[in-house]
């Protein structure tokens, strides 16, 4: 299943709607394109079906499970993993992988940590697989246990999933069950049906049909829905709206299992996302609170903890759990603000004028009396623009925001989408959107159609933009 988008031409009233892939935000990864009203010939449908079949994972979910069960029965010396194919090998397969990079003696511990055995799929416009640093992952697992959860629905959090399942028997945490929903099919080699579903979180699609959906439903509804939390860390590509719709579908699924008198209850959620998406997330989940905790990653050049001190990560946890229940590690500098009733970053000062701890990025912000709010430490009040901005801004151009994604509160160098978009088309679109004050639509990479020639593509990039249809 795809998503419906709309193509808008600058200065023209008419728009045209089309279907495109929801998971791949780059036409190079998936070039599916179809006008909404397009009639396809039998031949084209057949060709598409053949193509789709070729793109399917080589093994069915059931086959994967069978292979896994056979694999764990093998003696250590026969347990091999092909790094070239990212696949666990059974003795029958060895011949085919003789020329490949194969590692042997795959231990039980390695099998239980697939995120360390597999390489992360960093391809930014599809998987954007950024794995939690150990410190963050341990913090999350401990927090879930402290908060008393017994089941965790991990949507796009393979490393958290494995850590939850890794804890030794006897440990309080070992009572926590976890179900991983992820588009990365490689994980299906390491888990049986009740702990992994191949899933697209941009359109709530279960690749293995009804059986997989039922696994998810049963997981959410177990114990009448008591003790379960949804934890998600989606790619930061910017498709907030379809993600929100998906989470609302999962919430509805959980709600079905509730009795009447519990209708007020909410499914607890941790949505891990950059702080500059706060207003966007609030449009869909107004009661979500953004925690100050900085989520760190292993393989992200920008958000990982350097040897030379901390590189501040812009990634935060958005949640509907009351923030006073969430204790952030004091050894990392977080402290409790009794006025705000939440833990905040060391340098996040409580502003008496704003009545809250106002910093979003972890640095100390300053109150501007003219703007009547706190602003980033590097900003100064500009009397031409009538608000605070970076000192070297150009006064007409201040609304341009980040060159890559168009958001106002960060620069290109700290954008989580860095490298994903060579052209500034997304920023252009954002500006345009802002100008016309139509913020209801979700932006999407303004890529050209797959049949256009390069020059036409260029022209169109300047004039045509694409949005997700609400």
* Member of 34, 52, 60, 84 binding Zn ion (CB under 5 A): 84
Binding partner of residue 125 among Zn ion, ligand SAH, none, CB under 5 to 8 Å per kind? none
> What is the distance between the alpha carbons of residues 284 and 245, in angstroms, rounded to a whole number?
9
| Helix/strand/coil for 264 | coil
Footprint on residues 197-226 left by ligand SAH (CB under 6 A): 199-202
The distance of closest approach from Cβ of residue 328 to ligand SAH in the complex, given in angstroms and rounded to an integer, is 18
> Which of 103, 370 has the CB closer to Zn ion?
370
Q: Does 82 bind Zn ion (CB under 5 A)?
A: yes
Q: Does 196 bind ligand SAH (CB under 6 A)?
A: no
> What is the distance between the alpha carbons of residues 154 and 160, in angstroms, rounded to a whole number?
7
Q: Does 59 bind Zn ion (CB under 5 A)?
A: no
> Which of 185, 403 has the CB closer to ligand SAH?
185
Binding partner of residue 469 among ligand SAH, Zn ion, none, CB under 5 to 8 Å per kind? none
* Member of 30, 106, 129, 196 binding ligand SAH (CB under 6 A): 129
Count interface residues toward Zn ion (CB under 5 A).
Answer: 19
> Which of 176, 337 has the CB closer to ligand SAH?
176
> Which of 27, 381 has the CB closer to Zn ion?
381
For helices 158-166 and 134-146, the axis angle rounded to 10 degrees is: 60
> What is the distance between the alpha carbons of residues 172 and 31, in angstroms, rounded to a whole number?
47
Neighbours of 154 (CB within 10 A): 25
Alpha-carbon separation of residue 418 from 121, 232, 262 (angstroms): 16, 21, 44
Binding partner of residue 84 among Zn ion, ligand SAH, none, CB under 5 to 8 Å per kind? Zn ion
Per-residue binder mask for Zn ion (CB under 5 A), 219-258, x = binder: ----------------------------------------
Q: Does 233 bind ligand SAH (CB under 6 A)?
A: yes
> Which of 85, 302 has the CB closer to Zn ion?
85
> Which of 149, 379 has the CB closer to ligand SAH?
149
> What is the distance between the alpha carbons of residues 135 and 130, in angstroms, rounded to a whole number?
14
Task: List, in order, residues 6 or more apart from 39 with CB less than 8 Å away.
Answer: none
| Helix/strand/coil for 318 | strand
Task: List, in order, residues 6 or more apart from 234 with CB less than 8 Å away.
Answer: 155, 156, 201, 243, 271, 272, 273
Smallest CA-to-CA distance from 461 within 446, 449, 442, 451 is with 446
> Which of 79, 316 has the CB closer to ligand SAH?
316
Footprint on residues 323-362 left by Zn ion (CB under 5 A): 351, 353-354
Q: Does 348 bind ligand SAH (CB under 6 A)?
A: no
> Which of 45, 354 has the CB closer to Zn ion?
354
Alpha-carbon separation of residue 58 from 86, 329, 383, 438, 446 (angstroms): 12, 44, 62, 44, 32
Q: Does 85 bind Zn ion (CB under 5 A)?
A: yes
Binding partner of residue 60 among ligand SAH, Zn ion, none, CB under 5 to 8 Å per kind? none
Footprint on residues 169-188 left by ligand SAH (CB under 6 A): 182-184
In contact, 250 and 293? CB cutoff 8 Å: no
Task: List, in order, residues 6 or more apart from 43 with CB less than 8 Å away.
Answer: none
CA angle 393, 363, 313 (to 5 degrees): 90
**Sole window of 150-158, 260-268, 322-330, 348-356 interacting with ligand SAH (rule: CB under 6 A):** 150-158
Task: List, in order, residues 6 or more apart from 416 with CB less than 8 Å away.
Answer: 236, 274, 302, 303, 314, 315, 405
Residue nearest to ligand SAH (CB): 156
Footprint on residues 360-419 left by Zn ion (CB under 5 A): 367-368, 370-371, 374, 381-382, 384-385, 388, 395
In contact, 309 and 282? CB cutoff 8 Å: no
For helices 240-256 and 209-221, the axis angle rounded to 10 degrees is: 70
Q: Does 420 bind ligand SAH (CB under 6 A)?
A: no
Q: Contact positions toward ligand SAH, by CB under 6 A? A: 23, 127-132, 156-160, 182-184, 199-202, 233, 235
Q: Contact positions toward Zn ion, by CB under 5 A? A: 82, 84-85, 97, 100, 351, 353-354, 367-368, 370-371, 374, 381-382, 384-385, 388, 395
């Amino acid at each position: 299943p795809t998503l419906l988008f709309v193509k808008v031409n600058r200065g023209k009233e008419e728009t045209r709607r089309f279907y495109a892939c929801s998971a791949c935000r780059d036409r190079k990864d998936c070039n599916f394109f179809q006008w909404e009203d397009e009639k396809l010939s039998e031949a084209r449908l057949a060709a598409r079906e053949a193509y789709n079949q070729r793109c399917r994972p080589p093994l069915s979910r059931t086959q994967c499970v069978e292979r896994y069960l056979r694999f764990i029965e093998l003696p250590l010396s026969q347990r091999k993993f092909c790094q070239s194919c990212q696949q666990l090998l059974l003795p029958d397969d060895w011949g085919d992988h003789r020329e490949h990079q194969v590692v042997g003696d795959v231990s039980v511990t390695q099998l239980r940590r697939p995120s360390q055995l597999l390489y992360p799929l960093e391809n930014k416009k599809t998987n954007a697989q950024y794995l939690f640093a150990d410190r963050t992952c341990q913090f999350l697992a401990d927090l879930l246990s402290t908060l008393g959860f017994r089941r965790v629905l991990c949507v796009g959090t393979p490393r958290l999933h494995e850590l939850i399942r890794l804890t030794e028997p006897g440990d309080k945490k070992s009572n926590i069950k976890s179900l991983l929903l992820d588009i990365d099919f490689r994980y299906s080699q390491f888990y049986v049906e009740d702990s992994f579903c191949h899933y697209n979180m941009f359109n709530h699609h279960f690749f293995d049909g009804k059986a997989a959906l039922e696994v998810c439903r049963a997981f959410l509804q177990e114990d009448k829905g008591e003790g379960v939390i949804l934890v998600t860390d989606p790619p930061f590509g910017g498709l907030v709206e379809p993600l929100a719709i998906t989470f609302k579908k999962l919430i509805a699924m959980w709600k079905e299992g509730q009795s009447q008198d519990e209708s007020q209850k909410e499914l607890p959620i941790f949505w891990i996302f950059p702080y500059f998406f706060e207003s966007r997330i609030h449009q869909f989940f107004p009661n979500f609170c953004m925690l100050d905790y900085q989520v760190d990653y292993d393989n992200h050049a920008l958000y990982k903890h350097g040897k030379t001190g901390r590189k501040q990560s812009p990634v935060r946890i958005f949640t509907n759990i009351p923030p006073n229940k969430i204790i952030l590690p004091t050894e990392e500098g977080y402290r409790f603000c009794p006025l705000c009733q939440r833990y905040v970053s060391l340098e996040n000062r409580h502003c008496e004028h704003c009545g809250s701890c106002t910093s979003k990025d972890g640095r100390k912000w300053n109150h501007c009396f003219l703007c009547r709010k706190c602003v980033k430490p590097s900003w100064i009040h500009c009397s031409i623009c009538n608000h605070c901005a970076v000192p070297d801004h150009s006064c007409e151009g201040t609304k341009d925001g980040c060159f890559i994604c168009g958001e106002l509160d960060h620069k290109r160098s700290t954008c989580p989408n860095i490298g994903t978009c060579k052209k500034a088309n997304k920023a252009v679109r954002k500006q345009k959107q802002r100008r016309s004050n139509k913020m209801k639509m979700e932006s999407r990479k303004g890529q050209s159609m797959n049949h256009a020639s390069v020059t036409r593509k260029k022209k169109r990039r300047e004039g045509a933009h694409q949005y997700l249809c609400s």
